Structure 1
Amino acid sequence: MLAWLLGVVLFALGICASVALHEAGHMVAAKAFGMKVRRYFIGFGPKIWSFRRGETEYGLKAIPAGGFCDIAGMTALDEVTPEEAPRAMWRFPTWKRFVVMVAGSVTHFILGFIILYLLAATMGLPNVAGTPVISGTSCAASTQDPKTGDYAECGANDPSPARDAGLREGDEIVSIDGKATPTWTDVVSRVQKLRGEHEFVVMRDGAERRLTIDIPTVKRLAPDAKIGAEGNKLVDVGAIGVTSTPVYHYNAGSAFGGSVEFTGTMFVRVWEGLLAFPEKIPKVIQAIGGGERDPDTPVSVVGASIIGGDAVEAGVWELFLLLLATLNFFVGVFNLLPLLPLDGGHIAILFYEKIRDWVRRARGKPAGGPVDYTKLSAVTMVVIFIGGAVVLLTVTADIVNPIRIGQ
């Protein structure tokens, strides 16, 4: 229990640090361009402590649920003093305001990458796509223990089809008999149905190689078998004697390239998750009502912290770090959606003003004034309402029916 609480607290602190660095990204960029930053605070609500350095007040507030960076004149509607007016943010060129706005998300991306690099250089990066990369070859054990699932020890007569055909550690199985096998599950399901000689295409050192593997018949647990249960049945299947690569391992040098590639994968998965987000909300509501919680449903920071606690309690620190990196990528991408009051909404307005002024100049007209944010207040309130409702739903689900690991 103590380890679980430690994990929850550490994950919550990680989230707070991410938010603090997000706002720090805005602040550093604004100061670099000469904009006036009035305040930089971690948290909301009553002020606990603060100090002033130069023209900026730095401090901590009572509710650790975010933070803010108060830049003078973020929009033309913001009140500024005569002293602040020349350095109001809205007066600066579009590209500088864009850099300031995007700096928060970029900070999340950098932080997520650093976490992934540390993970890669120490514990390795998971094969989240299930790519069929071979980690080793051995015999195709003739049978399995029906109860434990343990494979029989290799005997002198047990064949080693993959090894005999020349399959090596690090090879990626691209296809079998001309049919693509993008995942390890595809490889297993194909091989189990085959017997005799079949053509495998593998990727090795950037080049494709064709291998002919003679697939023997072995005994394996039936698909409906349950480990530890009595009466499990064995069925005849094909096997070639290979093991998959669940984790890619790197050294300090190669970890950089591995982290870059994995970061690209994370961006794709985060974007796919955002697109699928609306259709997962009904499952969250069902979970609140007592239905089984789908592990693929959205979680709040409460739920993420609970999973982080479970990971620490189980000693799976790589999951803890991967979850923290994923959260940073998600927040960074989500914050760039073109919706107010997100940074992406402000960025969309910047581009709108720029494109509008290009069109006006092409028509011989003077540039238009700053966008009137009051005309967008209704849309902004709708976004805030929907966002608040989603947060309420996910927090409720994470309290009454959380996603757990190792339970």
Structure 2
Amino acid sequence: MAPTAILIHGDTVRTPELRHEVPLGIPDPFFYAESDGRRMVAISAMEAMRVESLGIGVEIHTPEEFGADELRRSGLDIHTYASEMAVRIVGGLGIEEAVVPVRFPLGIAEALRANGVELSVDQKLFDDRRRSKSAHELAGIRRAQKAAEAGVAVARDLLRRAENANGGLAVDGEPLTCELLKEHIQAAFLAHGAVSDEMIASHGAQTAIGHDMGSGAIGRDDVVLLDLFPVDVESACFADITRTLAVGEVSTEIRDWHRLCREALELATAEIRPGVNGGDVHRLVSEYFAERGFPTLLTKQEGEVLQDGFYHGLGHGVGLEVHESPALGVIGEELVPGDVITIEPGLYRQGFGGVRVEDLLLVTEDGHELLTDCPYELDLS
């Protein structure tokens, strides 16, 4: 018989499974459990009132209910205390058997198992629980996407206004660099209630390396790739967008790739609806590129590490993680209403450059909604 209980331990900053259930930023670890129709949290008094104020229908328990004061006076070291407290909390919540996510802390799992609690890992269960976004999460994704679009707009404006100076380009008296773009993009994010630890603003040959974050001076005739994935501060939900821009004159090859990527984006977007497997959409785009002479993950030789052509998956889910289910790659998953996904075809050649365009979509009951509202044009004017 499958376990009837669900058990999660962590903080809501680094544990998306927990943030989905308790939509509040909580930096210290706590327990969340579901059993026999009950939803329960065991959390410190410092956070208990905050969780209660959410009104999400969870029972709130504090460590004191499970003998925390006695353990604190017992002389145990902090690590032994934490393990013993975990055993007492889980036993006190009536959990004898539970399903946990793959990132459930190993040390706590060992302590629980040593005391007779049966745990099994089922990450798909937890991924599926987060697939259909809550109203709170979807609102956060929409805000994050507006922040991403504002970042693209700021970068486009800086690139457009750049002028020749000292053998390179400058804007507002400063050298035009990837670092300058990122500084202004981050400011745009903050103005829209979002932040980003990393972002891609690469140029030249860097754009051929899918996740090269970008660095250095942008040239007079250069290609710039922006891949922005800010997180909405209120909801902790991400967005994702990619645009490729031409500074001055770029090669005909880059222009052709950009046209093909836009056509592939349109081709894939038309397929997005519930019941479609992401792997089939990836295959459709791969065949489109392969017919035009580009290598893909589906045409490469067994064991070959592909570095040119279309060498990555078509897309992925977005939510409390920037990369989450469903997958749209060689291995795909069937789309369901409430999924938020990216479509991001790209073409590359190492040592030369690359092009990628990416939109964000919401899978609806009868099709999809495009969440991205941002120009595709390669040229800045």
- Per the shorter chain, which TM-score range? under 0.3
| TM-score, length-scaled by structure 2 | 0.24
- In our comparison, the structure showing a higher alpha carbon Rg is 1
More helix by share: 1
